Amino acid sequence: MKNITTILAGLRKTVRGFDGPAVSLVIAEYGRDPFFILVSCLLSLRTKDTISLPVSLKLFQSVKNFKELAAMPRAALESIIYSTGFYRQKAKQLQAIAHEIVTHHGGKVPNTREALLALPGVGLKTANLVLAEAFGIPALCVDTHVHRISNRLGLVATRTPEETEQALQKVLPRKQWSEWNRLLVVFGQHVCTPQSPHCSTCPLLKLCPRVGVKRSR
């Protein structure tokens, strides 16, 4: 097994100089409120954080809970989230979730994986992020960065994010599950980038087998 402690120490040191992931910035602004975390996570799907974060913050100036989100005129919502792409689909999904949460959960985001996955369009990645960041329940949110880098480091050898989640659960201590996503999102945006990662200056170079890396800087 790789030296997880050394890898974690290297990751923590490296990401210190960069802005945190979007969810950390939302938490810094609004605290660990499940409404803000779930909505910002949904807006970030298939969109870069640099675009989705300002949109989330703008939306939160108008709505602060699911009741208000459900009642917002669709055209107004679409206009605010337009730049995230797929804005019609996202507006429809956000209001379907808001309606579901108001009607069946008393306006509160449910705190179990099963109930979160039952919300319209909520997948594993979103459910795990909400569990970890809003409720402090250990969960491995496997996005594209976590999937790619965990494989490059040789910690897992998987083809899908779902397989990565299962495999990482056997390698990573439970108390590090939530942190793993926060670290790898930032590390993946700035160092271990999808195309041509910055291996020559990477602090993990000595212990990284660079699985699947064909071109690097």
Q: What are the residues binding ligand SF4 (CB under 6 A)?
A: 152-153, 191-192, 197-199, 202, 204-205, 208, 210, 213, 216
The answer to whether 161 touches 143, Cβ cutoff 8 Å, is yes
The answer to whether 202 touches 208, Cβ cutoff 8 Å, is yes
Amino acid in the structure at residue 96: A
Q: Tokens 């996503």 correspond to what residue?
A: 181
Q: Rank residues 105 and 210 by Cβ distance to ligand SF4 and give the closer one.
A: 210
Distance (Å, rounded) from C-alpha 172 to C-alpha 176?
7
Distance (Å, rounded) from C-alpha 96 to C-alpha 162?
25
Q: Rank residues 37 and 185 by Cβ distance to ligand SF4 and give the closer one.
A: 185
**Least separation in angstroms between CB 146 and ligand SF4:** 12
Distance (Å, rounded) from C-alpha 192 to C-alpha 195?
8
Q: Rank residues 64 and 190 by Cβ distance to ligand SF4 and give the closer one.
A: 190
**Least separation in angstroms between CB 24 and ligand SF4:** 21
3-state secondary structure at position 25: helix
**Least separation in angstroms between CB 14 and ligand SF4:** 9
**Least separation in angstroms between CB 166 and ligand SF4:** 21
Q: Rank residues 71 and 211 by Cβ distance to ligand SF4 and give the closer one.
A: 211
Q: Tokens 């956000």 correspond to what residue?
A: 94
**Least separation in angstroms between CB 10 and ligand SF4:** 9
Distance (Å, rounded) from C-alpha 184 to C-alpha 8?
10
Q: Rank residues 10 and 110 by Cβ distance to ligand SF4 and give the closer one.
A: 10
What are the phi and psi torsion angles at 7 (to 5°)? -60, -45
**Least separation in angstroms between CB 18 and ligand SF4:** 14
Distance (Å, rounded) from C-alpha 186 to C-alpha 193?
10
Q: Rank residues 173 and 209 by Cβ distance to ligand SF4 and give the closer one.
A: 209
